[in-house]
Every structure is written in structure tokens, then in C-alpha cells.
């Protein structure tokens, strides 16, 4: 419960450009292409596409979402390795938030989500430079739904990934356009689940001393 309350308290904090709260996560994408050219739109007819398709492998999306700013970035990588994770963190530190003092990152418990990934990827001095600007906040076990980027992934799947995307370059072009559009509109998530809600709705999961049973008279 401590991890959950840590995240909920973090989400409740006011906007701080020097110490932004950023949700980070990965999302797998299957690369597919139709086996037959679709029939185009015609008078009285919608576009028609055959149900058969062929697989072209897969890629991994690395995403970051700053809820209080209505900002997100999505990168398509060939793989989802510790090195890819480290490169993504470096991009956040140096390119997206160069003036911030600390990036407070919300992450799930994937085995690549470690500061050691930076030391496995960069020289020690460079890894240390990056880690000094990072603060990890992990979701509890089976609690990845507490990462607001999960909601963004759902929107992305409905608005962008619901069609054939044959290669990583195409995926990157499409997700970049999607993110740019949502950033321009400052679309965000209206998070309403608070620490108080958690203590009330999940009372049975808390230690007994936090939720004492009323004495009978």
C-alpha cells in the first residue's frame, strides 16, 4: 500500500517545472500489412479491405506522459531492452527536460526499469550524470493501472494503432503525429483517485492498525 500512496500523493502535488512528474512505460506493436490492396472509396461505397494480412515482426513503443502539462512523447524502437530504456531516459533528461533539476518518473516493475541499465549502456561518468536527475516511483505489484500512461496507451490504440502499420518507420511517423496533435490540444488525464479514496475503498488491504474495528458496546 505504501507504493500506491506514494504515487497518489505524487499525482496530487501541484505543477513544478523543476521537478516534473512523468509517467514512463512501453507498449508492444505488431507490424502488419494487407496481402491485397484495399478497394478505395467509391460513390455509395466505403473503402473495403480484405481480412487477410501478413506479419512483419514487431516493435516497441517507449512513451513518457506529463499529466499536469498535457504533454507526451512516443518513440518506436526495434526492441525493448535495458539499453533502449537507458537511451530513452537520456533523451528525456537532455532533450525534453534539460532545465529540470529532477525528473520524478512513475514506472512499473519491469526488470529493465533500473538505474543499472544506464551503467550498462553508458560510461560510468555519463550514467551518473543522468541518474542524478532521476527519481523512480514504482507502481505496486499488479498495480500498473496506477500509471497514467496506461490510459494514454488505450487512447493511442484506438486512435492510431487500429490499422495496418507495416514497419517501424511508419509506426514512428504515425505516433509522432498523434502525440503532436494531443500536445497541441494539451489533452490530459483527469485523475480523481486519491489516497483518501484508496483508504476507504481498499480498507481490507491495509494493516489493521490503520483501520481499527469499532468496539462493540
List C-alpha distances in Å: 157 to 28, 61, 77, 163, 175. 11, 12, 17, 9, 10
Mean confidence (pLDDT) of the chain? 90
Quote the CA–CA distance of 157 and 172 in Å, as a whole number.
14
Could you tell me the pTM of the whole model? 0.86
- pLDDT tops 50 at residue 217: no
Quote the crossing angle between the two packed helices 149-159 and 168-185, to the nearest 10°.
110
Confidence of residue 195 (pLDDT cuts 50, 70, 90): confident
Pairing of strands 53-66, 71-77: antiparallel
Give per-residue pLDDT as tens, 45-100.
Answer: 776 666 677 888 999 999 999 999 999 999 999 999 999 999 999 999 999 999 99
For residues 68 and 190, is the Cβ–Cβ distance under 8 A? Answer: no
| Whole-number pLDDT of residue 51 | 65
CATH class label, 2-35+53-203: alpha beta
- pLDDT tops 90 at residue 172: yes
CB atoms within 10 A of CB 139: 21
- pLDDT tops 70 at residue 216: no
Amino acid at each position: 500500500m505504501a507504493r500506491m500512496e506514494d504515487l497518489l500523493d505524487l499525482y496530487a502535488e501541484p505543477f513544478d517545472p523543476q521537478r516534473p512528474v512523468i509517467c514512463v512505460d512501453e507498449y508492444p506493436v505488431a507490424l502488419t500489412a494487407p496481402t491485397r490492396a484495399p478497394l478505395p472509396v467509391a460513390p455509395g461505397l466505403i473503402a473495403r479491405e480484405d481480412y487477410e494480412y501478413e506479419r512483419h515482426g514487431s516493435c516497441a513503443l517507449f512513451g513518457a506522459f506529463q499529466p499536469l502539462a498535457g504533454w507526451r512523447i512516443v518513440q518506436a524502437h526495434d526492441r525493448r531492452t535495458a539499453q533502449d530504456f537507458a537511451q530513452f531516459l537520456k533523451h528525456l533528461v537532455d532533450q525534453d527536460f534539460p532545465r529540470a533539476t529532477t525528473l520524478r518518473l512513475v514506472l512499473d516493475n519491469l526488470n529493465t526499469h533500473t538505474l543499472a541499465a544506464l551503467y550498462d549502456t553508458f560510461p560510468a561518468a555519463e550514467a551518473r550524470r543522468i541518474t542524478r536527475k532521476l527519481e523512480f516511483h514504482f507502481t505496486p505489484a499488479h498495480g500498473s493501472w496506477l500509471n497514467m500512461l496506461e490510459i494514454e496507451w488505450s487512447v493511442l490504440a484506438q486512435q492510431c494503432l487500429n490499422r495496418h502499420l507495416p514497419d517501424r518507420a511508419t509506426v514512428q511517423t504515425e505516433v509522432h503525429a498523434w502525440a503532436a496533435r494531443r500536445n497541441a490540444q494539451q489533452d490530459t488525464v483527469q485523475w480523481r483517485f486519491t489516497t483518501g479514496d484508496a483508504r476507504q475503498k481498499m480498507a481490507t488491504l491495509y494493516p489493521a492498525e490503520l483501520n481499527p474495528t469499532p468496539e462493540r458496546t
